Amino acid sequence: MATAQPTTDVLAEKHRPTLDQALATLRSRAYWSPYPEHPKAYGADGSLDAEAGLAAHRAVLNTRFDLDQPGTDGWTGGEISPYGPELGVEYPHADPDVLLPAMRAGLPAWRDAGPEARALVCLEILARISARTHEFAHAVMHTSGQAFLMAFQAGGPHAQDRGLEAVAYAYEEQTRTPAGRASWSKPQGKRDPLELSKEFTPVGRGVALVIGCNTFPTWNGYPGLFASLATGNAVLVKPHPRAVLPLALTVRTAREVLAEHGFDPNLVALATERPGEGIAKTLALRPEIRIIDYTGSTAFGDWLEANARQAQVYTEKAGVNTVLIDSTDDYKGMLSNLAFSLSLYSGQMCTTPQNLLIPRDGIATDQGPKSYDEVVADLAGAVGGLLGDDARANALLGALVNPDVKARLEAAAGLGEVALASREVAHPDFPDAVVRTPVVVKLDGSKPDAEAAYLSECFGPISFAVSVDSTADALELLRRTIREKGAMTVGAYTTSASTERAVEEVCLEESAQLSLNLTGGVYVNQTAAFSDFHGSGGNPAANAALCDGAFVSNRFRVVEVRRQA
Amino acid sequence: MATAQPTTDVLAEKHRPTLDQALATLRSRAYWSPYPEHPKAYGADGSLDAEAGLAAHRAVLNTRFDLDQPGTDGWTGGEISPYGPELGVEYPHADPDVLLPAMRAGLPAWRDAGPEARALVCLEILARISARTHEFAHAVMHTSGQAFLMAFQAGGPHAQDRGLEAVAYAYEEQTRTPAGRASWSKPQGKRDPLELSKEFTPVGRGVALVIGCNTFPTWNGYPGLFASLATGNAVLVKPHPRAVLPLALTVRTAREVLAEHGFDPNLVALATERPGEGIAKTLALRPEIRIIDYTGSTAFGDWLEANARQAQVYTEKAGVNTVLIDSTDDYKGMLSNLAFSLSLYSGQMCTTPQNLLIPRDGIATDQGPKSYDEVVADLAGAVGGLLGDDARANALLGALVNPDVKARLEAAAGLGEVALASREVAHPDFPDAVVRTPVVVKLDGSKPDAEAAYLSECFGPISFAVSVDSTADALELLRRTIREKGAMTVGAYTTSASTERAVEEVCLEESAQLSLNLTGGVYVNQTAAFSDFHGSGGNPAANAALCDGAFVSNRFRVVEVRRQA
């Protein structure tokens, strides 16, 4: 399928400085991003501005999204925006017996191109995606239900950052051995030395499968996609059936860039499914599939880990995130920080806090001692205040991603005393959008019947104010929650050095990422690429972290050829 | 158990230059080793010379090898040297319910010491082992059956090299994030920047289990042992019941060094088993065990991968190694190189060639065309010549490691036409040693009934001269053998550029390490630490390579603590 000899020279000048800065930032862990966060930053240099992005999005609605993939045996679609409208897009349905072998055809040339050329091609794909961030924002908004600005930032530059981060890790990992032939000479005393010429080639494992999720199709999809592609694999993208469009746009861009630079476009392909078809299970067990990245339920993640034995499997599954509240010297800052964390995208983030552990005798604050009831009431007040204005509420909450979340939200009110009731928010532009404020439910941590609630992931705008006997009790419950249920994030508020040390010790021992005393504009549910690790890979919530060396190093192998010198 | 504050400052001066040189060599892949290969290099600077090493070995025979481990509930032993004598050493038998929790007690201090201190302690352990290389050589010889010089080199400096290599990879991987607190500041236009302080701590996963093998107790044991220890884990060493002593000496040394530097000696412990007890299976499923390194049969390796789901599992299993013979411009060099490869340690290396694929119409050589029968006869002659002298044969062959190998060797003669018969060699010092020269059996690659022989690992001094229709046929059989059976090594002889390219392509696609046209003093079965990868981790013979980033990067996780700045 490749129409020309691969040419990536022109890309080096364009993207090598970005790659170098990414490599440096991974070591410093400082703030950096090459992709602008502000919507108004787009429009120049060939990128789409707000109007053009919206037009591009509208142009794709109610069309057939043709990718010219081998083995297309039909068309399927049916996405409905959480804001109401049907997207009306039809995507190719693939026959894996045709598509998978076709995806393997381009692997030798992709391998021979080497780590730098692969990284540069990935950076060009990301740059093209970046230029269409306004279009992607609408696609992410109308599949995930995120509010526009969040869909723009998390689905655009932040997702692109995570993709670039994976490319940089992949490049560094593959270039640990010398490029070209290395000479080896072992002295033998008075005899001639033993001499060999050695050549080390990083080779991908084969075809990688990315199984996308409903809530963050690009943010959670890009690390695996780009890590696998940059390490010499082909990548088959299987989106969540309710969030196909952002990944279909991604696949189209990748195929264009690959073909333009002389590589086989089938190195990246899309696999969509008919309603109820469940192709993830079938694809995951195909012998061609050697790597799987998955974000979703624990049940299916565990199934993949146990059954897809021919593949390296990277999973992000359910977890129960805790915030331990011991004391604070900024009560107001704590409340407003927590209120934002609980509200952002209606709590539909894998990093949103669920259980707030509060001593039943209350906590010390800069505004004097506060009882458990006062803390809970003040938090409810802070959330209520934050979301009191409907326009602001809509901008923060977005829409509920699917009916399951709505059902869980409605059921949550029956789990205990409701400290803050959820309310419906009307959306001015989308009357069918299901927008709800979070519910906060009080649970008594000493009552065994409350455990079933707070020791399960209750995904959505639901949190539990769990009363505990003491901070020591909270620490023990935190440990048990991480160990048994996993956690993507842990938060804690304390002015006590010994409590701080004790929370750190639990997180170090149970392998969970900790945010301490956040009272400003950084929230426990947010992580920054190149600096923060998303998950740890060491507790049941995820078997990998985004991104680290382990996330990339087993996606390829190094084959050595030794020759008599 | 720690008797003092950990102190490793003195080790920095002693070992930091060695660590730095190891790190540099991993990038250059040049020849380097800090551990002398020559037996006469030992004796100064506190190291044991030949006489002192032998005396130390004799002093341990017929004694109780006490390690002062918690949970010791009895004593067990029973090793018999492949050279005949009983070793008479008794080792502690452990109650895992006591030992495993005790091993966890020292983990926080070991974690807090940080990557450099852990690396330095590991280098001190290796230095102490190096100083006793003469003693280890006897222990390896009388458990593996290797001849003395090989036991000395492969069991001593080469094993130590592989341990150091793992420590260096582990150090590099853990120091990718900044030590101490890193500051992060994100500009917010006209508003104040968002600021955080971030701290990254590499944390081990828990207790690692090393399951040793009979043939290379130190060489195959050290990479996993040192990779896990250097990444902050405790390590439980479960030796093969016939090869306990070399690993018991290792564990004793590690415990001494740990204790001397203020760490809990129980971070490294020994688990020996009573006859038929099979404790590897029990230990492998314990929740405390989070990492397993295993060298041995495919059946048990596959069982570990499928069942020890709570652990990261690194396995080296069986494989079928092939040498493809197409043509050569140094017929004599090829024959002598192959003869040595087949003879070294009686073919009891996971890297020894088994199948020699030779076109039935013969090959082109610098001595004119040679028919299949001529090549096989000349190879038989070369092996016969190499091993014609009993002293030289004993020095090369060593003893058969166990009765299974002897039984396989005897049965092999019935598999086809014997081109070279095995002969018994008497050992001047050990009349009970079972020393045998290799058998070479002719098999017709076109006959389906021969497949069962050449497509199974036939571990020991057995090789098959498989006739093939053509080099193309050989390439296809090579590909199938690697894909279905796995391979630790592939060798090829060819003067044709296109055949060379075709063999490379098979090895790149099937992920196997290739040696081309070896005719001098480097053999396909040998790999050099810091330069060559042992296995690829990409075919069924092993799921990991010794050593690369992937071998170390998932033995620890990085836990991040973010604080409001």
**CA proximity to B71, closest of B300, B236, B210, B195:** B236
Surface of B (314-333) touching A: CB under 8 A: none
CA A458 to chain centre: 19
Residue A38 lies in a domain: no
Distances (CA, A) of A205 to A178, A192, A224, B127, B539: 20, 39, 14, 38, 10
Question: Do B358 and B415 lie in a common domain?
Answer: yes
Surface of B (80-109) touching A: CB under 8 A: 108
Question: Do A491 and A554 lie in a common domain?
Answer: no
Q: Which residue of B has its CA nearest to A547?
A: B558
Surface of B (267-306) touching A: CB under 8 A: 305-306
Residue B497 neighbours by CB under 8 Å, 6+ apart:
none
Give the closest of B31, B196, B516 to A522, CB-based.
B196
Residue B473's SS3 state is helix
Point out the residues of chain A with pLDDT beneath 50. Answer: 1-3
Give the Cα separation of B305 and B128 in Å (integer).
Answer: 34
CA B340 to chain centre: 20
Please state the φ and ψ torsions of residue A441, each to the nearest 5 degrees. -115, 135
Distance from CA of A250 to the nearest CA of B (A): 28
| Cβ contact A325:A341 at 8 Å | no
Residue B343 lies in a domain: yes
Question: Do B241 and B353 lie in a common domain?
Answer: no
Question: Do A305 and A346 lie in a common domain?
Answer: no
Interface test with B, best of A479, A536, A554 (most B CBs within 10 A): A554
The CATH number for A362's domain is 3.40.309.10
**What are the chain A neighbours of B29 within 8 Å (beta carbons)?**
177-178, 182, 184, 198, 200
| Cβ contact A56:A63 at 8 Å | no
Cβ-in-10-Å burial (0-12, 13-18, 19+) of A180 comes to exposed
Question: Do B493 and B407 lie in a common domain?
Answer: yes
Q: Does A534 touch chain B (CB under 8 A)?
A: no
**What are the chain B neighbours of A536 within 8 Å (beta carbons)?**
557-559
Residue A539 lies in a domain: no
Q: Which residue of A has its CA nearest to B514?
A: A561
Residue A239 lies in a domain: yes
Q: Which two tokens stand for residue B490?
A: 């592939």
Residue A127's SS3 state is helix
Give the closest of B111, B205, B513 to A538, CB-based.
B205
Interface test with A, best of B29, B323, B331 (most A CBs within 10 A): B29
Give the Cα separation of B122 and B230 in Å (integer).
Answer: 7
Surface of B (459-518) touching A: CB under 8 A: 504-505, 507-509, 511-518
**CA proximity to B554, closest of B324, B225, B241, B290:** B290
Q: Which residue of A has its CA nearest to B37?
A: A188
Q: Which residue of B has its CA nearest to A534?
A: B560
Question: Do A388 and A412 lie in a common domain?
Answer: yes
Surface of B (369-428) touching A: CB under 8 A: none
Q: Does A560 touch chain B (CB under 8 A)?
A: yes
Residue A342's SS3 state is helix
B560 and A514 within 8 Å at the Cβ level: the answer is yes
Question: Do B385 and B425 lie in a common domain?
Answer: yes
Give the closest of A29, A195, A559 to B182, CB-based.
A29
| Cβ contact A124:A14 at 8 Å | yes
Give the closest of A29, A512, A519 to B198, CB-based.
A29
Q: Does B549 touch chain A (CB under 8 A)?
A: yes
Q: Which two tokens stand for residue A195?
A: 């001499």
Q: Does A29 touch chain B (CB under 8 A)?
A: yes
Residue A501 lies in a domain: yes
Distances (CA, A) of A227 to A203, A250, B71: 13, 15, 45
In percent, the amount of chain A with pLDDT more than 70 equals 99
Residue-level pLDDT, tens digit, chain B, 565 residues = 444 567 788 899 999 999 999 999 999 999 999 999 999 999 998 999 999 999 999 999 999 999 999 999 999 999 999 999 999 999 999 999 999 999 999 999 999 999 999 999 999 999 999 999 999 999 999 999 999 999 999 999 999 999 999 999 999 999 999 988 889 999 998 999 999 999 999 999 999 999 999 999 999 999 999 999 999 999 999 999 999 999 999 999 999 999 999 999 999 999 999 989 999 999 999 999 999 999 999 999 999 999 999 999 999 999 999 999 999 999 999 999 999 999 999 999 999 999 999 999 999 999 999 999 999 999 999 999 999 999 999 999 999 999 999 999 999 999 999 999 999 999 999 999 999 999 999 999 999 889 999 999 999 999 999 999 999 999 999 999 999 999 999 999 999 999 999 999 999 999 999 999 999 999 999 999 999 999 999 999 999 999 999 999 999 999 999 999 8
Q: Which residue of A has its CA nearest to B501?
A: A561
| Residue that is last in its domain, among B495, B516, B537 | B516
**Domains in chain A: how many in total?**
2
**CA proximity to B1, closest of B319, B195, B260:** B260
Counting Cα atoms < 13 Å in the Cβ hemisphere of A398 gives: 33
Residue B80's SS3 state is strand
Q: What is the ipTM of this complex?
A: 0.96
Residue B5 lies in a domain: no
Q: Does A203 touch chain B (CB under 8 A)?
A: yes
Distance from CA of A302 to the nearest CA of B (A): 10
B203 and A564 within 8 Å at the Cβ level: the answer is no
Question: Do A303 and A335 lie in a common domain?
Answer: no
The CATH number for A218's domain is 3.40.605.10
Question: Do B404 and B355 lie in a common domain?
Answer: yes
Give the closest of B196, B198, B561 to A504, CB-based.
B561
Question: Do B352 and B280 lie in a common domain?
Answer: no
Question: Do A432 and A309 lie in a common domain?
Answer: no
A196 and B522 within 8 Å at the Cβ level: the answer is yes
Residue B326 lies in a domain: yes
What domain range is B213 assigned to?
34-180+195-317+545-564
**What are the chain B neighbours of A507 within 8 Å (beta carbons)?**
559, 561
Q: Which two tokens stand for residue B455?
A: 């497509």
Sign of CA dihedral B99, B104, B105, B110: positive
Question: Do A154 and A271 lie in a common domain?
Answer: yes
Give the closest of A173, A504, A545 to B549, CB-based.
A173
Residue A536 lies in a domain: no
